[in-house]
Amino acid sequence: MKSENILVIGGTGKTGRRVAENLTQSGHNVRVVGRKTNPAFDWENPESYDAALKNMDRAYIVYYPDLAVPGSRDAITALSEKALKAGLKKVVLLSGKGETEAEACEDIVANSGLNYTLVRASWFNQNFSEGAFLDFVQNGVVALPMPEARIPFVDADDIADVVSKVLLDDSYNGQTITVTGPQKRTFKEVVGIMAEASNKHIQFVPITIDEFKEGMKKAGLPDSYVWLFGYLFQEVLGNPDNQEVSDDVAKVLGRPAKDFEVFAKETAATGIWS
């Protein structure tokens, strides 16, 4: 396989960092961009897109903080138009499983004239080790709404491996790949798994969405984040149809998706939850 020039937008995030590592190890030339890189890339400044796209062959697109937020459609439209003009061979867009707003952005990419693959992901295992819920686990109390929701948590390593493959393999052009873990679990169940793996007392406390949002406000998080998490809990976890298990990870990679128990054991061994 010949070396290609690949743009990774969101290359310091949970999946972008892993995708960049995969592609670099495979001998590709990877350009990771963000607000502080050279060239700089800022989703809120479309004039920054051209320099990032220049001389690139393919791109992995992660919109921050989420495709559901206001402004995402305009940004994805502008980026798609500029990517087509720059002559990119293909793009892969990371999307959210069961997110109506994200699907609108998927349609923009699908109708852009670019070769593309869409990767729809369930909630990440790494939300508990690198993301919004890490502090809860470290403090021993995980207080979250939607206790009845059964979620097929997916590992960021699996997402990155899928993205790395479909980005380079044009047989996946025009397809939507849904990445989930191998089974559905409630928040209480995953908290129990993390407690056992880390040999630590971690309590799950069910709360209302309003209580969760109020806690985020008191923690000083911006209104946009408070809105986003409310949306994700209500719209995504609130619809059981959004939580079906997919076998696309196995289909693409030829191996099963990582189970939450394996993730928990691996993460506990790092000591981050201690």
> Phi/psi at 59 (nearest 5 deg)?
-145, 140
What is the per-residue pLDDT across 244-263, written as a single tens digit (0 to 9) for each?
A: 999 999 999 999 999 999 99
Look at residue 242 and tell me whether its pLDDT is greater than 80. no
Report pLDDT for 99: 86
Report pLDDT for 82: 98
Look at residue 240 and tell me whether its pLDDT is greater than 90. no
Close Cβ partners of 33 (under 8 Å, ≥ 6 residues apart): 7, 8, 9, 11, 39, 40, 41, 52
> Phi/psi at 140 (nearest 5 deg)?
85, 5
> Phi/psi at 231 (nearest 5 deg)?
-60, -45
Report pLDDT for 136: 95
Look at residue 241 and tell me whether its pLDDT is greater than 80. no
Amino acid symbol at 227: W
**Helix, strand, or coil (residue 121):** strand
Look at residue 9 and tell me whether its pLDDT is greater than 90. yes
Structural domains of the chain sorted by starting position, each given as residue range(s) with its CATH number in brackets: 5-122+155-180+241-258 (3.40.50.720)
Distance between CA atoms of 2 and 52, rounded to whole angstroms?
21
Report pLDDT for 156: 98
Which of 204, 208, 205 lies closest to 191, judged by CA? 204
Q: 238 or 130: which carries more pLDDT confidence? A: 130
Look at residue 36 and tell me whether its pLDDT is greater than 80. yes
Region 145-155: mean pLDDT is: 96
Which of 151, 128, 269, 261 lies closest to 202, judged by CA? 128
What is the per-residue pLDDT across 157-186, written as a single tens digit (0 to 9) for each?
A: 999 999 999 999 999 999 999 999 999 999
Region 62-86: mean pLDDT is: 96
What average pLDDT does the structure give for the chain? 95
Distance between CA atoms of 192 and 137, rounded to whole angstroms?
11
Region 100-125: mean pLDDT is: 96
Region 129-154: mean pLDDT is: 96
Angle of the 156-168 helix axis to the 14-25 helix axis, nearest 10: 50
